[in-house]
Amino acid sequence: MSGIRLENVFKAYGDATVVRDLSLTIPQGEFFTLLGPSGSGKTTTLSIIAGFTMADRGRVFINGRDATRAEPRERGLGMVFQNYAIFPHLNVFENVAFPLTVKKVPKVEIAKRVADALEMVKLTGFERRYARQLSGGQQQRVALARAIVAHPPIVLMDEPLGALDKNLRYHMQMEIKEISTRLGMTVVYVTHDQEEALTMSDRIAIMNGGVIAQMGPPREVYERPQSAFVAKFLGEADLIRVERQSGCLVGPGSLPVRAGEDNGSLQKGQLFLRPEKVTLCDPGTGEAGCTLRGKVHQVAFLGNVIRFEVELEDGTIILSDVANAAGIKNFPVGAAVDVTWLPEHARLLED
């Protein structure tokens, strides 16, 4: 089997458990993202895969081989570091050539492969420059070229775009994604930026406190979170406190609400909705079972979206993102409104 497999990996520093019995399988060719807040264990997990950190327990398989105790250099991985780790005493060519020169690849071959890698990251002509003569984006490209020059089947990336400004970031996301698809690489990508994770990944593992809170394709984890943590971490989330009374869920104002995939096992919990799935309408016009009452608390103009903050009767604030399209209805601050949604967009989460 190619790809990566972790089995019950555990790592603690003194009393602090950083990774708690983590198991996951990343098949060949997948773009896999470890997403989580700082201290969630994502970087440590990557470091264990890379071999810079040894797990206390558990096993690491790389391309089907047990690599738990292997040195980093024996693992044959490409890596892009958070700070790029470009050697300041070597120029761009020598930096990109480094993984090949240490493997004693013939000079002619090196020249060809470095040229190919630099062309792929659009840095042809920069061979003789040093890191300090490059912009942040160019340094990032050097780091990327160096990670792929030896054609490793697996490339690890530790917050590679963290230092770039927003526009460049988006641009580089697209480029990394394109290169990884073209070369058929398995990528393990670490980030704390949920937008980046959603844009680039085939699959995301959201980590919290050393465990995987949820794992799945971007759309699934975004639309069907299994916990309030995942719901909130992946973007704006509306969470409404609900209780079961004689078999039916009841929300603020004693109004009945329904949730998709509700099997009736939870007695109380939080009803989850994404703001873009929530619409506003005039009072009394919302459909029973997926409507709550409130009044507009604030209106924010975000350009392509208008964000309404609606205060429910119990004080809960609900966000409703409405696309700024032709003919949208405007609700002024203070107006009474019905907040409504489609039942299949609502999910019941444990507290």
Partner 1 sequence: MPLGPLAKWLLLAPAVALLLVLFLTPVGWFISASLMELGSWQDIWDEVAAVMGTGVIVRSIINTNGISLAVTLLTLVIGYPVAYAMTRARGLTFTLILVCVVLPYFTSTIVRTYAWMVILGRNGIINQLLLGMGLVDEPLQLMYNRLGVLIGMTYVLLPYMVLTLFATMKSVDGRLLQAAAGMGARPMTIFTRVFFPLTFHGVMAGSLIVYILAMGFFITPALMGGPDDLMMAMLIEREVELSHNWPVAAIMTIILLVITLSLYAVYTRFSDSSEERLA
Out of 57, 73, 107, 171, the only residue in the binding site for partner 1 (CB under 8 A) is 73
Q: In the complex, what is the shortest distance from the CB of residue 14 to partner 1, in angstroms, rounded to a whole number?
A: 15
For residues 85 and 95, give the distance between their C-alpha atoms in angstroms, rounded to a whole number: 10
Stretch that binds partner 1, among 94-102, 194-202, 282-290, 303-311 (CB under 8 A): 94-102
Out of 12, 24, 70, 85, the only residue in the binding site for partner 1 (CB under 8 A) is 85
Q: Among residues 13 and 52, whose Cβ is nearest to partner 1?
A: 52
The answer to the question of residue 122 lying near partner 1 (CB under 8 A) is no
| Alpha carbon separation from 254 to 44, 110, 244, 249 (Å, rounded) | 46, 71, 11, 9
The answer to the question of residue 89 lying near partner 1 (CB under 8 A) is yes
Near partner 1 in 269-298, by CB under 8 A = none
Q: In the complex, what is the shortest distance from the CB of residue 279 to partner 1, in angstroms, rounded to a whole number?
A: 49
Report CA 125 to chain centroid distance, whole Å: 34
For 87-233, strand residue ranges (E) read 154-158, 186-191, 203-208, 211-216
Q: Among residues 132 and 182, whose Cβ is nearest to partner 1?
A: 132
Q: Among residues 143 and 212, whose Cβ is nearest to partner 1?
A: 143
Nearest to 188 by CA among 174, 175, 202, 178: 202
Out of 12, 130, 228, 266, the only residue in the binding site for partner 1 (CB under 8 A) is 130
First to last CA, the chain: 39
The answer to the question of residue 160 lying near partner 1 (CB under 8 A) is no
The answer to the question of residue 135 lying near partner 1 (CB under 8 A) is no
For every residue of 194-209, which 3-state class applies, written as one string?
HHHHHHHCCEEEEEEC
Count of positions on this chain that bind partner 1 (CB under 8 A): 24
Near partner 1 in 28-67, by CB under 8 A = 50-52
Residue 142 DSSP code: H
3-state secondary structure of 179: helix
